[in-house]
Amino acid sequence: MAAAATCCCPAPPRSLYGGVALAAPSAAPGRRRVGYGASATRRWPCCRRWAHWPGAASRIRRPPPRPAAAATVSCAYSPGAETITACSWNEYVICSDIPVLIEFWASWCGPCRMVHRIVDEIAQEYAGRIKCYKLDTDDYPQIATSYSIERIPTVLLFKDGEKIHSITGTLPKAVYVRAIEKSI
């Protein structure tokens, strides 16, 4: 009980009690003291947390400071697949002299994000041998319907302006690579 009387918690604001008579911890059971003045020594009796005790700051363990990490710089240009639009479809896909890999995706599609990573890796590995593009089916549904794409993610492989392979769903990278190797 002595620890409760020496707690260093601040007194509650006077506005909470509106001058209601509160019993002081040292007062006799029949005596009551009004409010909290300079002579009042009442503290929160329920506060027994060790962090409020004097000298507790020396007992608080803090992690050692970390050394300053080297700053990483990233380029705004992504070396992965580029975004294509309906306006540039003929120029980049139909009239291309090398095979083209197109990923049909949507921003709300979770599996499409997994296919994004695979297509970006393929674009880096096969740079110069194939071109990789992404087309948002929400923005350009007319192209998706013209190639009978009902589900996403769907990856189409074009060669000489004609669709030669279609892959629907999230599949391992080896499946995409096998289809590319057949077309090259």
Q: Which residues are catalytic?
A: 109, 112
Residue with tokens 């629907």: 168
- Alpha-carbon distance 83 to 102, whole Å? 9
> What are the CB-based long-range contacts (under 8 Å, 24+) for 162-167?
164/99
DSSP state of 58: G
98 contacts: CB under 8 Å, gap ≥ 6: 129, 130, 131
Contact 119, 81 (CB under 8 A): yes
- Alpha-carbon distance 147 to 31, whole Å? 90
79 contacts: CB under 8 Å, gap ≥ 6: 120, 123, 124, 127
